[in-house]
Amino acid sequence: MDLTGRTAVVAGVGPGLGRELALTFAEAGADLALLARNADYLEQVAGEVEAAGRAALRLPADLTDRARCAEAAERIGERYGAVDVLVHNAFSRPPLGSLGERTAADWHAAVDGNILSATNLLYELLPLMRGRAAAVVLVSSISARRPHPGSGIYAVVKSAMLTLVQVLARELGPHSVRVNAVVPGYIESDNLEAFFADAGARRAALEGTCLGRFVTAREVADVAAFLGSPAAAGVTGQTLDVNAGQWFG
């Protein structure tokens, strides 16, 4: 995937997928603006991007704060002048459990961390994206397709993100901005090992995939890079599942 000469904003640069998104776009030739709440980890990933020969603007920010998003967009504009791709991987995972056990505060935090954070940043960046055949890639979750027991609010907001893609695609199409989503299945990682504390549950989940394995963070990042590239110039309002055949409809 060739993204030479393009500027990509990656929001939600954490361990696992966030890091892989940044490195995948850098290796494809893009210069990057990186956003995350954890400034120390942000610095680590930015160093890896620079080691790959690309520029990396570090922007620690809470994306649920529209004012912080505006500040970030201003700095990105000053540094790069325009934005070609926005990849939104930032999320908030609410407590597991029955919906009946969740409070209004749980709901507000989930919506703010998963949906509002995406629209906050997107609309602040939009003046830098209009008319450039730019692309937005939102990261959803297999929870939107097959809710895990107890995933409750998280599954609901990740499902809402898939409708958000369609709404944004229609709204931003006249500005020559495409909007799509990648929907990862279970991503092989240390965190997944902890999630499947019971070996039997992990084995059952593996057996439920067509390929007999879980996907890697790099495989998901490669699809995000495709959706953000000129190769997907005619693709908007779509969701692409990357889950080794864990789910398909």
Residues whose CB falls within 8 Å of the CB of residue 44, separated by 6 or more in sequence, listed in order = none
* The residue to which tokens 């990656």 are assigned: 10
Residue percentage of the chain with pLDDT more than 90: 80
Q: What are the domain boundaries of the chain?
A: 7-187+216-242
The confidence score (pLDDT) of residue 39 equals 93
Catalytic-residue membership of 80? no
Find, among 8, 24, 18, the residue nearest to 223 by Cα.
Answer: 24
Instruction: Please give the model's pTM, rounded to 2 decimal places.
Output: 0.95
* pLDDT (tens digit per residue) in 120-162: 999 999 999 999 999 999 999 999 998 877 778 899 999 999 9
The yes-or-no verdict on residue 54 having pLDDT over 80 is yes
The confidence score (pLDDT) of residue 99 equals 82
Tokens representing 148?
């895990």
Could you please state the CATH topology (level 3) that the domain comprising 7-187+216-242 is classified under: Rossmann fold (3.40.50)
Catalytic residue among 41, 123, 154, 186: 154
* pLDDT (tens digit per residue) in 7-35: 999 999 988 999 999 999 999 999 999 99
* pLDDT (tens digit per residue) in 167-212: 999 999 999 999 999 999 999 987 776 667 666 778 888 888 999 9
Q: Report how far residue 49's alpha carbon sits from residue 52's, in angstroms, rounded to the nearest whole number.
A: 5
The confidence score (pLDDT) of residue 58 equals 98
* Whole-number average pLDDT of the chain: 93
